[in-house]
């Protein structure tokens, strides 16, 4: 039985600040005790480098670091060798852009994406298109619901990459990725999914979805800052050149020849964030034990309840009417600056995001400069939403 109040007991920040309302998990999640203790344990008990020593500390660190890859793989039903640890989803997406797309895109080819992308899944493809003389094409958005209006004709034989977010970081909308992937595969295109807002919040099975690459942020899924991962199909990863090269990425080096290490290690050059990677594995296992379907259902209940409550206030404008969404609600208060709203909520102990959310093209499409965004996770409750609503009503009354 899912119990958010019980789950909160696993998070030291809520023990220290029991009245804290944290509604900004789409930016970064809070960390459970097991993640924090895992980092502490590494530095206190077996701190050493990995894959570079035959002494017991190094062997233990290497074993734990490799096991962390396997735990992440289990969460998304991937092969254990197909998980590459990165410092965030941004690096993971750039890895695909510069290790795969750079070598496989030529002048006149097409890259299909959307205007709802986080900049981290827009700028790499914009750059690749500029470097290689390719054409960037955008799937249209519905002007009322802001959902994708996917016309399969946009994907042609010239389309080499389809890059889209599984879930919009601003709107929270769950995109019809399987439908798009099916058409992309028929045309021979490679599909890259930004899973930063999907992996932490709903069941993700890469084999069932059918994409070729999926990137995610560790810090958004209960893991430490400075962690993320890329999943890629083994047959593609084995053919790809490393994006960053150096120690740890090679099997053998001669003056005129380099033999790269096997996957995933050829993509993890240099000393990685070892403690963070091991802790990311613990975060993945923590979520797996809760059950991602339970996570999704809990967020859906909170989101539906909050939207209904927010509709009580005529001054509040919510962006996006889709019910196919995770726990993300962007909104504005008519006539008020989003930063003022966020600052006033903070004075009430409520943390929300305000700004442009790394989605400038989408906000331009919506015709707004910025917004407030609230986002939920496993540790949030209906009682917190009620408290948020009372605070928001007081703020609006004050601003009048």
**Which residue is associated with the tokens 């003022």?**
340
Query: pTM (2 decimals)?
Result: 0.97
pLDDT by 10-residue block (mean), the chain, 400 residues:
96 98 99 99 98 96 99 98 99 99 98 99 99 99 96 98 99 98 98 99 99 99 99 98 95 96 98 98 99 98 98 97 93 98 99 99 98 99 99 96
- Our CA angle for 158, 149, 230, nearest 5°, is 60
Q: For 246-278, write each residue's pLDDT tens digit.
A: 999 999 999 999 999 999 999 999 999 999 999
Domains of the chain: 4-23+291-395 (3.90.1150.10), 35-289 (3.40.640.10)
- Interstrand relation of 257-260 and 250-254 (parallel, antiparallel or unpaired): antiparallel
Q: Kindly give the residue spans of alpha helices, DSSP state H, lying in the chain.
A: 4-8, 12-16, 33-45, 56-75, 89-96, 102-104, 123-132, 177-186, 206-209, 234-239, 274-290, 292-310, 338-346, 360-366, 382-399
Of 165, 211, 306, 358, catalytic: 358
Predicted confidence (pLDDT) per residue in 302-311, tens digit: 999 999 999 9
Q: Is 133 helix (H, G, I), strand (E, B) or coil?
A: coil
pLDDT for 400 equals 85
**Per-residue model confidence (pLDDT) at position 321:** 83
Q: Is 84 in contact with 95 (CB distance < 8 Å)?
A: yes
Cβ of 235: how many Cβ atoms within 10 Å? Answer: 9
* 12-16 CB contacts, 8 Å cutoff, 24+ apart: 12/36, 14/379
- Assess whether 306 carries a catalytic annotation: no
Under 8 Å between Cβ of 85 and 280: yes
In angstroms, the Cα distances linking 296 to 203, 279, 287 are 8, 23, 11
Instruction: Give me the pLDDT at residue 323, please.
Output: 85
């Amino acid at each position: 039985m899912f119990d958010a109040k019980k789950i909160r007991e696993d998070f030291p920040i809520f023990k220290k600040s029991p009245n804290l309302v944290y509604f900004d998990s789409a930016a970064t999640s809070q960390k459970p005790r097991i993640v924090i203790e895992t980092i502490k344990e590494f530095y206190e008990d077996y701190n050493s480098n990995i894959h570079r020593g035959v002494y017991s500390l190094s062997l233990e660190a290497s074993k734990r670091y490799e096991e962390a890859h396997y735990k992440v793989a289990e969460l998304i039903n991937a092969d254990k060798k197909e998980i590459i640890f990165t410092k965030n989803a941004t690096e993971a997406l750039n890895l695909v852009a510069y290790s795969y797309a750079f070598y496989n895109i030529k002048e006149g080819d097409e890259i299909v994406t959307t205007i709802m992308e986080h900049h981290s899944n827009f700028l790499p493809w914009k750059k690749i298109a500029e470097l290689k003389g390719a054409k960037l094409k955008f799937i249209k958005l519905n002007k009322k619901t802001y959902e994708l209006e996917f016309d399969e004709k946009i994907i042609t034989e010239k389309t080499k990459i389809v890059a889209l977010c599984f879930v919009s970081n601003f709107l929270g909308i769950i995109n019809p990725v399987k439908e798009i992937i099916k058409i992309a595969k028929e045309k021979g295109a490679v599909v890259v999914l930004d899973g930063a807002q999907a992996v932490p919040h709903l069941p993700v099975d890469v084999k069932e979805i059918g994409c070729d690459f999926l990137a995610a942020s560790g810090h958004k899924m209960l893991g430490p800052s400075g962690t993320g991962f890329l999943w890629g199909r083994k047959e593609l990863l084995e053919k790809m050149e490393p994006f960053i090269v150096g120690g740890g990425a090679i099997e053998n080096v001669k003056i005129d020849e380099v033999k790269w290490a096997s996957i995933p290690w050829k993509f993890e050059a240099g000393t990685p964030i070892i403690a963070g990677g091991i802790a990311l594995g613990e975060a993945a296992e923590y979520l797996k034990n809760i059950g991602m379907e339970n996570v999704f259902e809990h967020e859906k209940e909170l989101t539906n309840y909050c939207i209904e409550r927010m509709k009580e206030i005529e001054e509040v404008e919510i962006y996006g009417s889709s019910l196919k969404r995770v726990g993300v609600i962007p909104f504005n208060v008519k006539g008020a600056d989003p930063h003022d709203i966020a600052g006033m909520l903070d004075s009430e102990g409520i943390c929300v995001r305000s700004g442009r959310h790394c989605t400038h093209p989408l906000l331009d499409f919506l015709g707004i400069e910025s917004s407030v965004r609230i986002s939920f996770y496993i540790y949030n409750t209906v009682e917190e939403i009620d408290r948020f609503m009372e605070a928001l009503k007081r703020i609006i009354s004050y601003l009048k």
